[in-house]
Structure 1
Amino acid sequence: MSGRRRNGKSFLLEALTEAAGGLYLSAVQEEGRVLSLQRFSEAVAAHAGVPARALRLGGWEEVLSTALDVVNRAPGAPLLVIDELPYLLQHSPEIPGLLQLLYDRSQSRKAPGGRIVLCGSAMSVMSELLSGTRPLRGRAVLDLRLPAFDYRTARTHWQVDDPGTALLVDACLGGAPGYRPLAPGAVPQSTGDFDDWIQRTLLDPGRALYSRVEAEFLLREDPRITRRTLYYDLLSAVARGASTPARIGSLLERQRSAVVAPLEVLESTGYLRREQDLLKARNPVITVADPVIRFNQLITLPLVDMVEHGRAADAWRESRPTFQSKILGPHFEELARHWTRAFAPDEAPLRIGAVGSTDVPDPAAKTKHEVDVLALAPGERPRSAHTRVALVGEAKATIQPRGMRDVERLEHIRGLLAGLGHETADASLALHSLHGFHPDVQRAAARRRDLLLIDLAALYGDGPVLGGG
């Protein structure tokens, strides 16, 4: 099991171990080999019901084999959980090989079996455990990457009634459940509450949720991130809109080749997301995947002097335009794609396959159109010729209600896609709007089967999707 810190991995594994009667062991980041062996030995002895001094275990092979023997003899399920494994690997890299040895012995019944769960927050380290010729490759029954809550579950977790306020919180923190206990005071229930809440959480240097401290904490999880200045610069460049290695390198005045490897590290850790155009093969679009890091790079760091000298209110007021355009807008687009993937088949008259975004060239106008939400028909392969398109959509978080001009733009894009050879006869048009719709577009949706209107209430499941017959 792997996943970003604060997603609840340890919480779930401790609860599982307690319910099953197994043995839970967790590594400590600053602890060396000798102290780790001693502490694990004491935990194994305690689970066996004997004094700590009764077990003198000299190495990891003894610790692991004795732990398996103990969980097989003790009442309850033969379950052994080793949490934060990457911390152990920093001083004891032989552990995966020893686990392979114990696994192979158990298969030939020369040693006790059982279930071993390995867990860690350094996702690149965890993913390499099962890669290539690594000792544990082919021996794992389950490789689980625990995600954060989706935006609807996060709203329930935070107990925010107002969907607009829930969207603002999600744009800043995402769905990591571990952040709620760290947020002081009442949960915001209105946009007015949100302004005060953001100043006493992500913009308060004295709080655990201060975004600068949290971002540094997250980046320290991966042992490959050593030159933190470079990685901070890369994250800032992507957060500001540079979406390809060439553009990122140009913004930082570095060669493209110099940024490719560190970008791959940030992608493997889950802090950057790489998405391919749904219709054509080209350089993938790189975006910041972690909301807390995005907030830190765009809001906190540029105004860090103001924030750390007690002027969080001024800093927040100065950064509101950036928050609206660089954080809330892109986040709303991502939620629109998530709604299309996860909820549209049940809440709208749609049958869809792959979902993503694309750019559509418009030769006559000598421009191109960015399509925020594109869905292919079920069974269609992305980046194929003559693809059947199920939906063409736009997501707008601007303050104006959307009108017929937006529908006409989508109709134009649908025609351009048909001109490129794609099948669009059955393609629906979808407008996602943070601030509703003009009456004329609502009347049009009421009589058109190919037009869907998704407001904030529909996005969160509080109200119906308008249109679609």
Structure 2
Amino acid sequence: MPQRQKPGQLLDREHEWALLNDFLADPAPELRLAILSGRRRNGKSFLLEALTEAVGGLYLTAVQEEGRVPALHRFTEAIAAHAGVRPGAMRLDDWRDVLTAALDVVNRAPGAPLVVIDELPYLLQHSPEIPGFLQLLYDQSQSAKAPGGRIVLCGSAMSVMSELLSGTKPLRGRAVLDLRLPAFDYRTARTHWGIEDPAVALQVDAVLGGAPGYRPLAPAPTPQSDVEFGPWVERTVLDPGRALYSRVEAEFLLREDPRITHRTLYYDVLTAVARGASTPAKVGAALERSRSAMVAPLELLESTGYVRRDQDLLRTRHPVISVADPVIRFNQLITLPMVDLVERRRGSQVWRSSRPTYHSKILGPHFEDTAREWARAFADDETGLALGAVGTAEISDPTARTKHEVDLLALAPGERPQSPRTTIALIGEAKATVQPRGLKDLERLEHIRALLAEQGHRSDDAALALFSLHGFHQDLITAAGRRPDVLLVDVAALYGDGPVRGS
């Protein structure tokens, strides 16, 4: 089958579109399976609907809280419609018959023999036998005892989707694709929102992230200046009458995972992590619980994608836990602590009083995350730096009896994290504070580079990068112009609008 061109209305997603096209183009006559998962509002359905329309496939979607019999009937009617059969002419009483009929129909119809089953976890709540029937059809198709074709299974409940291929589950070893659709990166998100000012785009990204499904729900107009940003926040995530009210959205996201049954505990864990508790022990201390009691909740939140666990690039057994979802982080830090005021329509008062929290706990950490994303995705093309693993590190300073937290550390390509003697390619600091960065910031990075060398790492040739939301003092700019090892990255350069200063 020839490659189908990605539709113009589908922003980004070139990699996923190409993989799905290759999946469909496989000439093998046997049944092939693919899994697509991702957080709600990341655009999974939009992508699969576009693919199904482009190739003439059959798109079926489950409905939350729909019973088994209504679901069977609705799927049967959709299959009949795709086959051009009059309504009510087809009767299918179990999921094996439904799946077999769907494959028969798409194999006879013009176009690709594609069946998409969206929101599969909703079906599994009442019909857990579906993966077993898919296994049976898959195995029988290998000997031409069942129809071939291509089936894509999609869902937002991340733990359910990841378990489809785990352990002794029926579909283990039978899916040729296991895609997790991420949110847009920060540059694509800016294009999606249509924001000219990169500093404003960064702030919108800090509050809502890159989930493309949020833009149709947000009130117009999109903010284009810092003056417009505050009122926009008040009438979106801080307005109980809006679809993007953060309390409702956070609850909606957490309900996606059927294992999250005691939401109060998970809310408390998320709040502790958002406030800076970065290890299981610190989360336990914040909630007056033992470290061991926090392991299971944190692992569950990590599997859903709402919490991220990174490892220190230089130290073993030193996890760094953070809230990965911007909407949940905003809810835990700003909405929930003042929910009574918010629900009395006092969003402007809440926003004014919460600005210090927003800058220190939301915008600051998000700016650091964005700097690391720039290093992973764009630094090579825009600076010529060849970088391997990118992350954070905590560096001991025995003389000063302190530790230095490094916002951005990049190893040389091929270097393994946590190795005793590793080559450091980049050491960076990212600050969203209102003060421009100066020579003292550069001196701190030079000191950290020397400490790393003293500790046995090969850091002498490491580049030093300063990221600033509010620019740089002229003396630092002058120094960077004379030195080949210094990079200055302001918000324009972070978004590709301007050059990276330095060599």
Please give the alpha-carbon distance, in whole angstroms, between the structure 1 residues aligned to 2:411 and 2:54: 44
Indicate the residue corresponding to 1:371 in structure 2. 406
Matches within 5 A, 1:437-456: 437-456=472-491
Looking at structure 2, the residues matched to 51 and 104 of structure 1 have their Cα atoms a distance apart, in angstroms, of: 32
Which residue, out of 141, 145, 150, partners 2:180?
Answer: 145
Residue 8 of structure 1 pairs with residue 43 of structure 2: yes
384-393 or 252-261: bigger deviation? 252-261
Q: Distance in 2 between matches of 1:16 and 1:225?
A: 32
In structure 2, what is the equivalent of residue 130 of structure 1? 165
The alignment status of 1:157 with 2:184, answered yes or no, reads: no
Please name the residue that 1:349 is paired with.
384
Structure 1 residues 370-423: Cα deviation after superposition (integer angstroms, max 9, x where no partner) = 000000011111100110000111000000000000000000000000000000
1:90 and 1:425 map into 2 onto residues whose CA distance is: 57
Q: Secondary structure at the match of 2:177?
A: coil
Structure 1 stretch displaced more, 253-262 or 332-341: 253-262
The answer on whether the counterparts of 1:41 and 1:52 sit within 8 Å (CA) in structure 2 is: no
The CA deviation at 1:259 is 1.5
Instruction: For 1:112 and 1:62, locate their aligned partners in 2 and report how far apart those are by CA, in whole Å.
Output: 12
2: CA distance between counterparts of 1:108 and 1:331? 52
Shift of 1:336: 0.4
1:181 is matched with which residue?
Answer: 216
| Structure 2 residue 365 is matched with structure 1 residue 318 | no
Instruction: Write the deviation string for residues 41-63 of structure 1: whole angstroms up to 9, x where unpaired.
Output: 11111111112321111100000
Task: Give the match's secondary structure for 2:405.
Answer: strand
1:280 aligned counterpart, secondary structure: coil
1:436 to 456, 459, 471: 471
Q: Which residue of 2 aligns with 1:204?
A: 239
Superposed, 1:98-113 pairs within 5 Å as 98-113=133-148
Alignment of 1:411-422 (within 5 A): 411-422=446-457
- Counterpart among 99, 102, 108 of residue 73 in structure 1: 108
Question: How many residue pairs are counted as aligned between the two chains?
Answer: 468
> Which residue of the other structure, out of 461, 475, 482, is the alignment partner of 1:426?
461
Q: Map 1:268-347 to 2 at 5 A.
A: 268-347=303-382
Report the 3-state secondary structure (helix = DSSP H, G, I; strand = E; otherwise coil) of the residue aligned with 1:54: coil
* Counterpart residue identity of residue 169, structure 1: V
| 1:54-73 alignment, distance < 5 Å | 54-73=89-108
Does structure 1 conserve the Cα–Cα contact (< 8 Å) formed by 2:82 and 2:105?
yes
Is this contact kept in 2: 1:430–1:453, CA < 8 A? yes
Deviates more, 1:375-384 or 1:254-263: 254-263
Q: Does 1:460 align with 2:460?
A: no
Alignment of 1:96 with 2:131, yes or no, is yes
Q: Distance in 2 between matches of 1:191 and 1:15?
A: 36
Q: Note the residue ranges of structure 1 that are not aligned, 5 or more in a row.
A: none
The reply on whether 1:45 has 2:80 as its aligned counterpart is yes
TM-score, with length taken from structure 2: 0.92
Deviation string 1:322-362 (CA, Å, 9 cap, x unpaired) is 00000000000000000011100011131111100000000
**Quick check: 1:225 aligned with 2:260?**
yes
Which residue identity is paired with 1:20?
Answer: V
Give the aligned partner of residue 207 of structure 2. Answer: 172
Aligned AA (1:430): A
Q: What is the identity, as a one-letter code, of the residue corresponding to 1:303?
A: M
Shift of 1:288: 0.1
My pick for the range that moved more, 158-167 or 345-354, is 345-354
The Cα shift of 1:224 comes to: 0.3
What corresponds to 1:214 in structure 2?
249
390, 394, 405: which is aligned to 2:429? 394
Letter in structure 2 aligned against 1:252: L
Partner of 1:384: 419
Distance 2:186 2:282 in 1: 30
Tell me, in whole angstroms, the C-alpha distance in 1 between the residues paired with 2:311 and 2:108: 51
Q: Report how far residue 283 of structure 1 moved.
A: 2.8
C-alpha contact 2:450 2:460 (8 A) present in aligned 1? no
CA distance in 1, matches of 2:185, 2:288: 36
Provide the C-alpha distance between the structure 1 equivalents of 2:150 and 2:297, rounded to a whole number of angstroms.
35
Q: Would the aligned equivalents of 1:238 and 1:287 in 2 still touch at CA under 8 Å?
A: yes
Contact 2:425 2:461 in 1 (8 A): yes
Cα-to-partner distance string for 1:244-292 (whole Å, 9 max, x where unaligned): 1111011111111212111111000000000000011023111000000
Q: CA RMSD in A?
A: 0.6
Aligned partner of 1:333: which letter?
E
Aligned to 1:244: 279
Q: Match for 2:294: what amino acid?
A: V
Distance across 1 between alignment mates of 2:292 and 2:317: 17
Query: How far is 1:13 from its partner?
Result: 0.6
Q: Does 1:29 pair with 2:64?
A: yes
Once the two structures are aligned, what percentage of the paired residues are identical?
A: 76
